[in-house]
Chain A
Amino acid sequence: MATSAGTLTRGRLPQAERKPRSLWSDAWKRLTRNKAAVLGIVFIVLMILVAIFADLLAQHNPVQQNAGISLRPPVWVQTGNPATSGLSEYPLGTDSLGRDMLSRLIFGARVSLIVGLIPTTIVVVIGVTFGLIAGYAGGWIDNLMMRIVDIVTAFPDLLFLITVGVAFRDTPFGQAFNGLLLIFVALAIVGWTGLTRLVRGQVLSLKQKEFIEAARTVGVSRRSILFKHLLPNAMAPVIVAISFAIPAFILAEAVLTIIGVGMRPSVNPDNPFPTSWGVLMSDGFASINSNPWALFFPVLLVSGTMLAFTSLGDGLRDALDPRDN
């Protein structure tokens, strides 16, 4: 036995010479080998760039109204009648107020991505903290916290969002940022319980492992155990959950807007966040008879975004949990 250990340390076996690899670099390699996931990442990065450089990309101001050229189809639709044909000036057509569809889609990406990101950030902070504490503390603290989670889960999400949306719509809080602040807060309030359950489950199984016991034995502080030992090891499923939470929030904003309690339309030409894909779908739905294209384009972009996040999420799940394959 002693000799074989000696040969290993002298490095004659090729495996022994390999550089240490972390879980994350392994996962990244597996992720980039997954074609669908890479496609998803490319699409998402593209949308993020569009959102950031919306001012440069958009040809027209997204809230500028043009009387007389409303509800035009895209440029390739030529009906023969100049009053109903597409215009090269407005490549994807115009909406019912004559606003440029393409510019609105570009600016809509900005709000929709933010709607995906901000509530997700809030939800991750609350959900992970709650889950860590409940799972690690155990006993009555765990019990109390999980009962709170039960009640929030029992509340029908959409009904809560609508009720809150209507209740605070006309208050200064509800009007802040065209109603977006209210949407962020409301989405965060209903959205955190899933992550709490997930993290708590992870912690419950992790805290029985030897490395935690070892850390406790050598006197590592509770805060250190929670954030340096438990959290990083519970992170993989959280990351997967995040990649599914973002599109869910984007959709939730759209649902609320279409039901009539979401984002308010903006008429201020200097507003950097004038519209969202939800608003565009809602407007497009209202004018579906006269110009279905106004619904088609936002639906197309939202579909692309949903598919991109799903393939990224599925890819992440496979990459971070190789046991599944």
Chain B
Amino acid sequence: MTAYVIRRILWFIPVLTIVGLITFTIAQLTPGGPFDRNPEEGRRMNPGTERVLRARFGLDLPQWRQFTRYMFFDIEKDAKTKEDKIVWGAIGGNLGPTYKSQGRRTVQQEIFGSSGGNPSSFYYSARLGLQAFLIALGLGIPLGVLAALKQNTWIDYLVLFTATAIYSLSSLVLSFILLLLFSSYLGWFTIIPDWDDPIRPWILPSMALGLASMGYVARVARASVLEVKRQDYVRTAQAKGLADMAVVWKHIVKNAMLPIVTISGPLFAGLLTGSLFVERVFLVPGIGNDFVTAVGARDYSMILGLTLLYCFALTIASLVVDLLYGVVDPRISLA
């Protein structure tokens, strides 16, 4: 078990390195640099200033060294003591300074740090993702179980149809439908959110993100319960006179959870990257918003940092899912 976890975590390093390398290469191929324009005035920056800034961020180094410096570490001369010291890169949790701030803030500060009393981008994205995740599982599982228990009744058909429709619309179309219906037509929510309100602006984006996944969860839960319902041990439990509720909860639902665990990994991943789009539609100042801005401004370290962060979260999520298999179904042994 421990050996398995260690092996999986070691596998992160080549994956993240290669993902970083690909992103780095694309960013290098991009015409234009982060300092060719003055951010305030939008015109070409003074070549002297540009040179100084490029040197400060190590953009004058050979490309392979820029990459290793960013991903792993670099040896620099300390300004005061004049001694060589190791500066850790992404591997040590340092995602580098953002170019936008001209080096005053690091990527991790930009993502996790709050600015001017406002919560951090991470807070917005994490809360949105978590709420969506709760909607997806909290509604999807009960609906799927209910449909399966009432198989071939109108309840089943209604749940199945709704779940399929919502799921196939995806969070993109769903965002627009919710926006058109509740903001534009009914006027219950403002299109430009007021983030001082603790609940209101969160409702629509969480629903847009969560409901599409809910449809998927409900379908999987239904199929899984139908499968388990036919098992001999369920018939035995009913035959020996167990209360219906006990059979449902202890024997059916518990054993039907494995496929839910399986999909919750990709589901979580989908909520992470899907939020990028939902954030755009509902004007949520989260990480997705940072990413789109960074790409437009050619902020290499921010692009790399966010890509690595997303990728790290995805690999962690898939590891957690694999570990949960063993918990949900003791027959599965890892290693």
Contacts and interface: CB of A to CB of B under 8 A. Distances in A.
Interface of A: 150-151, 154-160, 162-164, 166-168, 170-171, 247, 251, 254-255, 258-261, 281, 285, 288-289, 292, 295-296, 299, 302-303, 306-307, 309-311, 314
14 contacts: A150-B15, A155-B22, A159-B291, A162-B291, A167-B26, A167-B30, A170-B32, A247-B168, A251-B170, A251-B173, A254-B172, A258-B277, A259-B292, A260-B292
A292 B295 contact: no
B238 interface: no
B30 A303 contact: no
A81 to B, nearest CB: 20
Contacts of B306: 159
Interface string B300-334: 00010011001100110000000000000000000
A288 B191 contact: yes
Contact of A292 (B29, B170, B172, B180): B180
B64 interface: no
B311 A155 contact: yes
Nearest to B272: A156
A186 to B, nearest CB: 10
Contacts of A260: 292, 296
Interface residues of B, number: 47
Contact of B185 (A150, A292, A310): A292
Interface string B21-40: 01100110111100000000
B307 A163 contact: yes
Given A158-B273, A285-B281, A303-B169, A163 B177 contact: no
Interface of B: 15, 18-19, 22-23, 26-27, 29-32, 164-165, 167-170, 172-173, 176-177, 179-180, 183-185, 191, 269, 272-274, 276-277, 280-281, 291-292, 295-296, 298, 303, 306-307, 310-311, 314-315
Contacts of B307: 155-156, 159, 163
A158 B173 CA distance: 16
A255 B281 CA distance: 10
A126 to B, nearest CB: 17
A158 B314 CA distance: 13
Given A247-B168, A260-B292, A299-B177, A158 B27 contact: no
B27 A167 contact: yes
B22 to A, nearest CB: 7
A156 B311 contact: yes
B276 A295 contact: no
Main secondary structure of the interface of B (DSSP, over half): helix
Contacts of A255: 172, 277
Given A155-B311, A295-B180, 19 more contacts: A156-B273, A156-B307, A156-B311, A157-B273, A158-B273, A159-B291, A162-B291, A163-B26, A163-B295, A166-B296, A251-B173, A255-B172, A259-B276, A260-B296, A288-B180, A299-B173, A310-B164, A311-B164, A314-B164
Nearest to A309: B168
Contact of A296 (B180, B295, B303): B180
B89 to A, nearest CB: 19
Nearest to A162: B295
Given A151-B15, A156-B307, A306-B168, A281 B291 contact: no
Contacts of A247: 168
Nearest to B16: A154
A156 B314 contact: yes
Top 8 A-B pairs, shortest CB-CB distance: A310-B168, A167-B30, A292-B184, A166-B295, A156-B310, A158-B273, A299-B176, A306-B168
Given A154-B19, A159-B291, A259-B292, A303 B276 contact: no
A79 B184 CA distance: 17
A160 B223 CA distance: 33
A281 B15 contact: no
A281 B291 CA distance: 21
A243 to B, nearest CB: 11
Contacts of B27: 163, 167
B311 A288 contact: no
Contacts of A150: 15
B262 to A, nearest CB: 14
Nearest to A291: B184
Given A259-B276, A281-B176, A288-B184, A306 B169 contact: yes
Contacts of A302: 173
Contacts of A259: 276-277, 280, 292
B295 A285 contact: no
Given A155-B311, A156-B314, A295-B180, A289 B15 contact: no
A171 B180 contact: no
Nearest to A261: B295
B177 A303 contact: yes
A158 B15 contact: no
A85 B86 CA distance: 69
Contacts of A295: 176, 179-180, 184
Contacts of B281: 258, 285
Contact of A258 (B31, B168, B179, B280): B280
Contacts of A288: 179-180, 183-184, 191
Nearest to B22: A155
Given A167-B27, A259-B276, A159 B310 contact: yes
Contacts of A309: 168
Contacts of A258: 172, 277, 280-281
Contacts of B29: 167-168
Nearest to B23: A163
Contacts of B176: 281, 285, 295, 299
A155 B172 CA distance: 21
A162 B292 contact: yes
Given A167-B27, A167-B29, A299-B176, A155 B19 contact: yes
